Structure 1
Amino acid sequence: MKLASLNQGRDGELIVVSRDLARAVRATDIAPTLQAAIEHWETLAPRLEQRYAQLNDSTAEGAFDLDQRALHSPLPRTYNWADGSAYLNHVQLVRQARNAEMPDSFWHDPLMYQGGGDAFIAPTEDIEAVSEEHGIDFEGELAVITDDVPMGVDAAAAAEHIKLIMLVNDVSLRGLIPGELAKGFGFFQAKPASSFSPICVTPDELGNAWQDSRVHLPLTVHLNGETFGQPEAGPDMIFGFAELVAHAARTRHLGAGAVIGSGTVSNPGPDGGPGKPVGDGGVGYSCLAEVRMVEKILYGESRTPFLRFGDRVRLEMFNRDGQSIFGAIDQQVVAYHAP
């Protein structure tokens, strides 16, 4: 099943989207918003599935052609947005570039930070930034939406609470990160609003690409119309989503609508070393920081600039038949001017 939210009001209006993303039908008579649907998932999901089946066989009343530009992030806001860093190749490169060892605990205990969930960016909305000097970066990721998760669940039980999957652009301000981390209290200003793919899907929509709570498909990243990366999301995800959800719920209950992110999708090279750019025969990258770290390791300096005003980023994932699964996050970076 595929669901989305029309960009209406702070929490959007729930719609069901066809498998090919071409058509949609309102579902506000079942649940006004996706948040309301996820809070009563066991009761409402069968009704939404029925409407999804009707939409795909062209029997749904009130169906309309879908314009993805009319959509918000599936959850325009959430009570809980926590982002992990499950691709340790990414972490390792960043630390290697500054000659820092990676603690052994990172391989056993997931990294995770608490993000701001009060207002996400719509998937085709501009990314507003105060200054290019802040080191504006994109981060291509995946995320899951859970129903109510009890505190202390193990990974096997946590897997049953994963209800929906989507893509993420976790916008980061790299120039602000070192100063914030030096305070010993984590990210805040360095992590502005994130955005999510226009469509979220139930795990069964991914078929055998959904295994071990991981999505085994490449994430396609374009920067200013050029292919920047096509890293595989499955094999190098050290902690699957079930483990990330269990980690988030270790000492707290997670309310329905909790969003848990994977961290930046990242692959090492075939020899275990830094991956190569697409132009050099590699799978590329899903953030600018990583290519900059690789450049620093190989050449002694970073050569690729961070995002500038006017740059455009597009994130999308396709199934094995070449069909877009989640729609596209397609955004331009613009200067923000305070009122």
Structure 2
Amino acid sequence: MRFISLHRADGRIVPGIILRRDGVDMAVDVTHPANPPWYAALPADLLAWVEAGLDTLSARLASGRYADAACVPLSQASLAAPLPRPGKVVGAAFNFHDALRERGMPPPASPVIFIKSGRTVIGPGQAVRLATDVGNVTYEAELGVVIGRTALRIDAADAMDHVAGYLIVNDVSASDMVRADKAFVRGKSQPTFCPCGPWIATPDEIADAGALGVRLRLDGIARQQGNTADLVFGIAELIAHASTQMPLDPGDIIATGTPAGVAIAHDPPAWLRAGSAMIAEVDGLGALHNPIVAEGRT
């Protein structure tokens, strides 16, 4: 099943699902008051659903009967980030073989991970805002993994049991800050620097998360085109390793790394600029559209 967060007309962000009706993907506001009472009584945010277990909800939600007032074509829905405020985003650096070849770097001996603030997360259609004092900012299209069960010092063999689903992450990064600091946190954690979405797909929706195309276009130009088959450390290894460094909680997101083609790799470099627009795509997970604006603009 595909899970979403929706903007209601009253400004609230509420959880929902995507169902196919008569060949059209429909966004369903599950807790809409017009629906039967059981649905309206569900928790009013998707994080609570993740904590309860998306797999346990899927069967009942898929067979539900929803009021017409609660349904809108997905193309007309106003989507928020599926998890607007995850506890944390754990990123993986240097985790694509093609990106390492592009840089002339050997693969790391173990995963290189960093923390990205959950407050950086924005949703589909929301703008990445560039501060005037933050230069040389790049896109980074990635497969994101949503943690569904607390993980602490787990083995890779058990790691996939802790996965609630998958989504697209665009790990926007201020390259100059990363280089100056020789660390990732500041350059990765600027406001709006983590577009996520457009939905969370449960594992049964994805035939093989280790063989998904990952692409990014900037102003219509293809800038990244990779595949998760090229990951240095796979999803299970990343989760297991991260769980040795910190507890992973339901709703945390693991960003698995980005393929070749980040901004600095192009001639001239394809740094993000106000007025541009980018689309990140991962097979089976849709497309994540985000414009770029100067800070203080709309």
Q: Shorter-normalised TM-score: what interval? A: 0.7 to 0.9
Distance 1:160 1:122, change over 3 A: same
Distance 1:15 1:116, change over 3 A: same
**What's the TM-score once normalised by structure 2's chain length?**
0.84
Aligned to 1:330: 289
Q: Provide the rounded CA distance (Å) in 2 between the counterparts of 1:198 and 1:222.
A: 16
Query: Which of the residues 50, 63, 72 maps onto 1:38?
Result: 50
Aligned to 2:156: 155
**How far apart are residue 219 of structure 1 and its match?**
2.1
Q: Tell me, which stretches of 5 or more residues in structure 1 are unaligned?
A: 267-284, 293-301, 319-324
Considering fraction of residues, name the structure with more strand: 2
Aligned to 1:273: none
SS, match of residue 265 in structure 1: coil
Aligned to 1:74: 82
Q: Provide the rounded CA distance (Å) in 2 between the counterparts of 1:222 and 1:164.
A: 24
For 1:223, the aligned partner's letter is L
**How far apart are residue 317 of structure 1 and its match?**
3.0
Aligned to 2:165: 164
Residues 179-328 of structure 1 mapped to structure 2, 5 A cutoff: 179-181=180-182, 186-192=184-190, 193-207=193-207, 209-210=208-209, 214=210, 216-233=211-228, 235-266=229-260, 285=261, 287-289=262-264, 291-292=265-266, 302-318=267-283, 325-328=284-287
Residues 12-27 of structure 1 mapped to structure 2, 5 A cutoff: 12-18=13-19, 22-27=25-30
Q: Provide the rounded CA distance (Å) in 1 between the counterparts of 2:99 and 2:162.
A: 27
SS, match of residue 24 in structure 1: strand
How many residues end up aligned between the 2 structures? 280
For 1:27, the aligned partner's letter is V
- RMSD of aligned C-alpha atoms? 2.5
Q: Provide the rounded CA distance (Å) in 1 between the counterparts of 2:188 and 2:163.
A: 28
Q: Provide the rounded CA distance (Å) in 2 between the counterparts of 1:3 and 1:74.
A: 7
**What's the TM-score once normalised by structure 1's chain length?**
0.75
Q: Provide the rounded CA distance (Å) in 2 between the counterparts of 1:141 and 1:335.
A: 24
Asked if 1 retains the 8 angstrom alpha-carbon contact of 2:150 and 2:247, the reply is: yes
**How far apart are residue 251 of structure 1 and its match?**
3.8
Q: Tell me, which stretches of 5 or more residues in structure 2 are unaligned?
A: 32-39
Percent identity over the alignment is 24
Aligned to 1:270: none
Distance 1:10 1:164, change over 3 A: farther
